[in-house]
Structure 1
């Protein structure tokens, strides 16, 4: 570069983000270190939620020295934690553009981020004791029990997201979220539910890392009492499951396991004679990887769970797209397990595959996609599973017409480990379907 270049050729660049702590009275005199700020990657809704929690965040990041734990549990109602987010898509064109997908619907991946952030805000509201002299709890997303898309979500119509705590255990809480959106025909009438989700959070002592008790809950309305009972039943079911599924497969499902492997062996041993409408699970795989950046961290300095769900969803969508040969239609997140935290700087690998398909309903074939996130540490020669995600997609009937009646293939395993994974998810889905029928 010429040393005599005019300064006018230099374009100054400034930050377009503000910290949740900028409005703090202490912002100028004792600003918190940048390393303790939440990351700058997040969506407008996530940023708004974190701004609303800024005072709690400051205390969580900088508790008094040797602060004692909460000594007395409070009893709160679901209404005390209820929080609503309104997306003004109809008038806010920039917001609309941030959430638009290529088909003029809402990007589900970004919505997953917001759902996780809202659930986190609600958990903080419920678990806070409003005492600045006690050390706050560390609240971690343990799992997403189920997330069901009941109808497509338009990006041109205002959207509302609301949630509250519906159940509390000793150190865990369940939060139910609903996304509602008016129909185009009756935008000023009732708002039908477009999506439902249930998040499980667990509380840890921020100093010892051990499980910590959380505030009690007292349902008031008939609906709140019903939701509590249903959540209690789900909690009891999770406790009973333990090793039950694996035991069932070992003792009673040997024939199913062998039948799946028989189909896979034909592909491995005699590929020319294999069924053309069948494909090996390993041939549906996709993978991507990334280094976790500081911009993706949450207020605890770890990678934001909503970001992980967003990335997993987009890989699952791509996997279903490449497998089906036509644009997939998202139906639900079957289950998400947050097994280990992910830290800034971790080498994260997402591995996906079509686990199995359900082809009985030709108008709505189901594509079940598994995404497993691994934290890989090359220096230590180690790789650990941090998250597991299960998504279900379908394709529109008219899409098969455009593609000359192309059929979705049946997926078969080549190894016993793959066969077991398929059966475990099939059994989990059958159990969930039975629960829904009994409601």
Structure 2
């Protein structure tokens, strides 16, 4: 992606056009719109840390001397939020700002381990806009080591999708348009446009996809067959397999004011951070050895989370891929629920999907311990596994197409 951001231009006027301007005394106390996302979680766009800044570096160090991915996810969401607000703002401080929320995060792939002892940079730009949606591509780069002339190399790429709502009505609101100029910008725009259309088509035809591509009831039956043995004849069950329900972990928290964004809602990056920590723990206890993060498959933000909400994170290993014995894959699902005990209600607010593996050196220390196969015990569990397998396959195809552009 080009280092220079794609230029934008406004196609609509301020809703306050024609109204009297604010006086100098009142406008002097108002922060520019472009700075609003930094009120609670100000991202650093040049260098996330420098090797000379020991205190900052230690905040990102994990027990294995690598970067805490969960904390990095917070920074990515914060920077994406800043970019989306800047894209939608104008130079008129009287313009009513839009309500911008994270709708989803597309596949986020870790291309190489990120060292905590080397300078890191996060950069991003708007690559595509719809009528009320914005897609932002972020790159995490870290200089290559061991060469005389170190050049920046991409360690992680992420695509965030934000949607705009009118503050008063809550309805979809138009956003500034995009004017790609360079060939690279045009290719990025076209790739994002294609993926947007395919995503809408997939949502519309989701039910048909499950019935046709998944092979219908036969595929569910094949998954359930082994699970029934665990339930009915546990002594005869395959010891190389485990029931999905036996991989579950859970934690809970009360959402605090310090975790809110500029709109007073809980910061999406904070939710991603907490979900990642639970997913990592789930993969750790499942594999019996330290997992290694590979990618965030997809994140859905289904409903906002407010300050004071009782939030419950529930995780499980959905399925494993064991074809490559040196790098088996562990696919973990984390579902966040907003629970309201006083109303005896609970709603799903977020769904997160992560992929981990285990390192060869970790397997060597555990005498080559094999990763188990996960099997469902109910039709609902089988359906979730099948849907996720197909969604991952679809995203893999889309990811390859995006890279080819």
Structure 2 residue 168 is matched with structure 1 residue 207: yes
Among 365, 372, 389, the alignment partner of 2:352 is 389
Give the Cα separation in 2 of the matches to 1:358 and 1:315. 20
Q: TM-score normalised to the size of structure 1?
A: 0.81
1:26 CA drift (Å): 8.3
Alignment partner, residue 274 of structure 1 = 237
Q: Which residue matches 1:222? A: 183
Deviation at 1:407, TM superposition (A): 0.4
- Cα distance in 2 for residues equivalent to 1:408 and 1:339: 32
Give, in angstroms, the shift of residue 248 of structure 1.
2.9
Matching residue of 1:180: 141
1:144 equivalenced with 2:105 (yes/no): yes
Q: Which consecutive aligned stretches of 4+ in structure 1 deviate over 4 angstroms post-superposition? A: 29-32, 37-40
* SS of equivalent to 1:206: coil
Pick from 331, 334, 345: which aligns with 2:297? 334
Kindly indicate whether residue 42 of structure 2 is the aligned counterpart of residue 47 of structure 1.
yes
Whether contact under 8 Å (1:348, 1:375) holds in the other structure is yes
Counterparts of 1:113 and 1:432 in 2: how far apart (Å)? 23
Q: Cα offset for 1:255?
A: 1.2
Please state how far the C-alpha of 1:404 moved relative to its aligned partner.
1.0
Larger radius of gyration: 1
Q: Distance in 1 between matches of 2:314 and 2:201?
A: 29
SS at match of 1:113: helix
Residue 324 of structure 2, aligned match among 336, 361, 377: 361
Any residues of structure 2 matched to 1:81-160 within 5 Å, and which?
Answer: 84-160=45-121
1:4 maps to none
Kept in 2: contact 1:289–1:347 (CA 8 A): yes
The unaligned stretches of length 5 or more in structure 2 are 1-23
Counterpart among 335, 358, 383 of residue 420 in structure 1: 383
Provide the rounded CA distance (Å) in 2 between the counterparts of 1:88 and 1:329: 22
Cα 1:210–1:273 change in 2 (3 A) is same
- What is the RMSD of the two structures over their aligned residues, measured on CA atoms? 2.1
Q: How many angstroms apart in 2 are the aligned matches of 1:435 and 1:294?
A: 38
Please report how far the alpha carbon of residue 187 of structure 1 lies from its aligned counterpart in structure 2 after TM superposition. Answer: 7.2
The number of residues matched between the two structures is 372
Are the structure 2 counterparts of residues 340 and 396 from structure 1 closer, same or farther at C-alpha, using a change threshold of 3 Å? same
In structure 2, the partner of 1:257 is 220
The CA distance in 2 between the partners of 1:48 and 1:161, in whole Å, is: 9
Q: TM-score, normalised by structure 2?
A: 0.88
**Alpha-carbon offset, residue 341 of structure 1:** 0.2
How far apart are residue 185 of structure 1 and its match? Answer: 0.7
User: How far apart, in 2, do the equivalents of 1:322 and 1:26 lie?
Assistant: 59
> Aligned match of 2:271 in 305, 308, 315?
308
Tell me which residue corresponds to 2:154: 193
| Counterpart position of 2:369 | 406
1:31 CA displacement: 10
Partner of 1:78: none
Question: What are the superposed Cα offsets for residues 164-188 of structure 1, whole Å, 9 maximum, x if unpaired?
Answer: 0000000001000000001221374
